[in-house]
Amino acid sequence: MSWRVWVLIFVLILSAISIAPWGYLEKGALIKSVEQNSTAFNEGLRQGMVIRALNSEEVDNMEDYSRIMSSIFPVQNNTKLIIQTKTQEFILYTDEALKITVSNIPKTNIKTGLDLSGGARALVKPVNVSLSSLEISDLIVVTSNRLNVFGISDVTVRKVSDLSGNNFMLVEVAGATPTELKELVAQQGKFEAKIGNETVFIGGKKDITSVCRNDAACARIESCSAIQQGDYACRFSFTVYLSEEAAERHAGVTKDLGVNVTEGGKYLDKKLDLYLDDKLVDSLFISEDLKGRVTTQIAVSGSGVGETQQDALAAAQNSMKKLQTILITGSLPYKLEIVKLDTISPLLGREFTKNIILLALVAFISVSLILFIKYRKLKITLSVILTMFSEVFITLGIATFIKWNLDAPAIAGIIAGMGTGVNDQIVIIDESVSNLSISIKERIKRAFFIIVGAFFTIIAAMLPLFWTGAGLLRGFAFTTIIGVSVGILITRPAFADILRKIQD
C-alpha cells in the first residue's frame, strides 16, 4: 500500500477517536455550570468536571446525582460532603445542595447547532452607537456575568462582526430557553435609587457592596394578596448593602426631609424611588429613624402580578432575581437592542435531526446506486463509496475535534458535498480507464488538474461567506471547505492509488 493510503487510514482512525461515543463508557454527572462565589465554586469545582461519587456513593448519571443530593439535603447544620470527580476529591461543609447544574455525559462529542438541539440565540447590538472591539468585550463580560448570576447555565457569549464592520454580541443558550433571556441580555440595567431628584445609589460595585440572595432571612416574598379583577400581587423584599460613600449620600439627602405621621407609622415626606432603565419600579416609604443616618443596609422591594396566586408568586420571584442580578452586575453605558432572536424548541430540533440522518442515508444510497449502475464493477463502486464515506467521516471528525457546532446549513453542506465530492472520483476513474496509450500516471495527473481547479473554485466561492451575516452562515462555508480540502489532500490521492492498484 502506498503512503497516501496509510495517511487516509491514519486520519480515519483519528476521526473515529474524535467521534466515537465515549460517553457510553463513561460514568458520572457532568458539571454544566457552577454559581460564582458559591461554596462549590470556592472549593474549586468547575464547569466540565465529572462527578463520580458523593460521600462515596457512586454517581453514574444525572439522576443519581439528584437522588443522592436530595437524600442528603436539606439539613440543619453544615455537613461534610465529599465529592469525587474523575481526577480530584473535594471536601466541603455546607447546609444546602450544591449551587451547580449537572447533566449526563454527552454520548458523543459531536456538537449540534441550536437549530437542531434546541435553544436560544440572540444577536445584540447597541442602539445608535457602534462599539469598538474593546467595548464589545466589556459588554460580553457584563452579559456573561448577568446570565451567570441569574443562574442560566450552558451559555456562550461571544463577539461577531460582519462585512460592514458592525460588531455584535451573540448570546447562545443551549436547551430550553429561559423566558428572562430577552430582558437579561437586552436590558441596559440602569438602576437608580432616588429621593426626590437626588440619586442616592445606583446598581453596580461602586455603590453596592453586596446583595442578599437565596437567603430567606434577608431576601423573601413578603405577602401575596388579591387585587382587582381576580388578579393577584406578591411583594418581595431583599437587603442591599451599600458602600460607605453611598450610605453617607443617603444620610445627606434624608437629613433635610420632613416627617409625615400616618396610621402606619412615622415616615419621611419623600419616598425612595427605585428606577430601572428610567422606569419607576417601586416607591418605598422611608421610616423616620433613618433620617440623616449613615446606614449601609437598605431593603429594596417590588412586586409581581399574576392571574393566580401561584403566577404572582413566580412573577415576584423572577422580578426579585432580575433586580438582584442587575444590582450586582451594574448597568451598561448604552441601550441595547436584540436584532435577531431565535428560540428553537428542542422537540422540533430532535425531529429535524432524525430527518437529517435519514436524508444523509438516502443520499448515500442513491449516489452509490447511480455509481453501481454506471460502472457495474463492484471494486470500483465500493472504492468510490468508501472514499465518499471517508470524506464525510473525516469532516465530522475534524468538526468534532475543534468543537464546531454543526447546524442545519453545515449539515446541508456535508450532504451536498457527498454528491459533488464523488465528482472528482468520477473524473479520476474516467481519466484512468481512457486512452491506455498514455501512462496511468500521466492520466491521473491530468485528472488532478481538473480536480485542483474545481477545488479552488469552490474555495473561492465559499470564502466570502465566512464574513457575511454575522457569521451565521459560517458553518455552511466551513463544512464545505473542510469537505473539499479533506477530499483533495487525503481521500482522493489515496483513491487514485487504490484505483491504480485495481487497474494493474
Partner 1 sequence: MKAVYPGSNPGRRTSKMEQNQNKTTEQEGKSWFDRWYKLLMTIPLAIMVISLIYLGIFFSNHNDFLLKDVSLSGGTTITINAEIDSSALEQQLKSEFPDVVVRKLTDLRTGKTIASVVESSAQPEEFQKSLEQILGYNLTEENSSREITGSTLGQNFYKQLIFALIISFILMSLVIFIMFRTFIPSIAVIFAAFSDIVMPLALLDFLGIKFSVAGIAAFLMLIGYSVDTDILLTTRALRGREGTLNQRIYKAFKTGILMTLTALAAVLPVFIVVTGLPNSFRQIFLILALGLTADIINTWMTNAGIIKWYCDKKGIK
Q: Candidates 21-29, 148-156, 258-266, 410-418 — which segment interacts with partner 1 by CB under 8 A?
A: 410-418
Q: Contact with partner 1 (CB under 8 A): which of 286, 298, 356, 406? A: 356
Distance CA 390, CA 157 (A): 34
The yes or no reply on residue 161 touching partner 1 (CB under 8 A) is: no
| 439: helix, strand or coil | coil
Minimum distance of partner 1 from residue 161's CB (angstroms):
11
The strand pair at 119-126 and 232-242 is best described as unpaired
> Cβ contacts of residue 434 below 8 Å, gap of 6+?
443
Q: Peptide bond before 346: cis, by omega within 30 degrees of 0?
A: no
Q: What angle do CA 283, 286, 289 make, to 5 degrees?
A: 175
Distance CA 439, CA 394 (A): 31
The yes or no reply on residue 184 touching partner 1 (CB under 8 A) is: no
Distance CA 236, CA 427 (A): 73
The yes or no reply on residue 448 touching partner 1 (CB under 8 A) is: no
Distance CA 71, CA 404 (A): 39
Minimum distance of partner 1 from residue 454's CB (angstroms):
4
Q: Contact with partner 1 (CB under 8 A): which of 160, 416, 440, 489? A: 416
Q: Candidates 71-79, 152-160, 207-215, 476-484 — which segment interacts with partner 1 by CB under 8 A?
A: 476-484
Q: What are phi and psi of 319, to 5 degrees?
A: -60, -40
Minimum distance of partner 1 from residue 170's CB (angstroms):
12
What does each C-alpha distance from 438 to 228, 430, 448 come to in angstroms?
93, 13, 15
Report the residue number, 325 or 480, with the smaller CB distance to partner 1: 480
Residue carrying the nine cell digits 436530595: 70
Dihedral of CA 53/55/57/63: which sign? negative
Report the residue number, 17 or 438, with the smaller CB distance to partner 1: 438
Q: Candidates 18-26, 38-46, 318-326, 423-431 — which segment interacts with partner 1 by CB under 8 A?
A: 423-431
Stretch 364-393 residues interacting with partner 1 (CB under 8 A): 366-367, 369-371, 374
Q: Nearest CA to 475 among 414, 385, 429?
A: 414
Report the residue number, 4 or 474, with the smaller CB distance to partner 1: 474
Q: Candidates 45-53, 61-69, 305-313, 418-426 — which segment interacts with partner 1 by CB under 8 A?
A: 418-426
Q: Is 225 buried (19+), middle (13-18) or exposed (0-12) by CB count in 10 A?
A: exposed
Distance CA 131, CA 335 (A): 12
The yes or no reply on residue 256 touching partner 1 (CB under 8 A) is: no
* 8 A C-beta contact, residue 447 and residue 492: no
Q: Contact with partner 1 (CB under 8 A): which of 77, 128, 437, 504? A: 437
Q: Contact with partner 1 (CB under 8 A): which of 85, 177, 319, 405? A: 177
Q: Contact with partner 1 (CB under 8 A): which of 79, 137, 214, 420? A: 420
Distance CA 388, CA 491 (A): 8
Q: Candidates 223-231, 262-270, 328-336, 360-368 — which segment interacts with partner 1 by CB under 8 A?
A: 360-368
Minimum distance of partner 1 from residue 193's CB (angstroms):
30
Minimum distance of partner 1 from residue 242's CB (angstroms):
37
Minimum distance of partner 1 from residue 113's CB (angstroms):
10
The yes or no reply on residue 434 touching partner 1 (CB under 8 A) is: yes
Report the residue number, 55 or 355, with the smaller CB distance to partner 1: 355
Minimum distance of partner 1 from residue 300's CB (angstroms):
29
Q: Candidates 13-21, 37-45, 175-183, 263-271 — which segment interacts with partner 1 by CB under 8 A?
A: 175-183
Q: 101 in the Ramachandran plot: left (φ > 0), alpha (ψ -120 to 50) or beta?
A: beta
Stretch 280-339 residues interacting with partner 1 (CB under 8 A): 337-339
* 8 A C-beta contact, residue 318 and residue 244: no
Distance CA 85, CA 52 (A): 5
Site string for partner 1, 16-35 (x = CB under 8 A): --------------------
Report the residue number, 284 or 336, with the smaller CB distance to partner 1: 336
Stretch 101-130 residues interacting with partner 1 (CB under 8 A): 115, 120, 123, 125
Q: Candidates 204-212, 279-287, 320-328, 361-369 — which segment interacts with partner 1 by CB under 8 A?
A: 361-369
Query: How many whole angstroms from its chain centre is CA 205?
Result: 26
Number of residues that bind partner 1 (CB under 8 A): 82
What does each C-alpha distance from 16 to 21, 33, 396, 422, 498 come to in angstroms?
9, 29, 9, 22, 21
The yes or no reply on residue 464 touching partner 1 (CB under 8 A) is: yes
Where are any strands of DSSP class E within 14-142?
A: 29-34, 50-54, 57-58, 79-85, 89-94, 100-104, 111-112, 119-126
The yes or no reply on residue 456 touching partner 1 (CB under 8 A) is: yes
- The residue type found at 158 is R
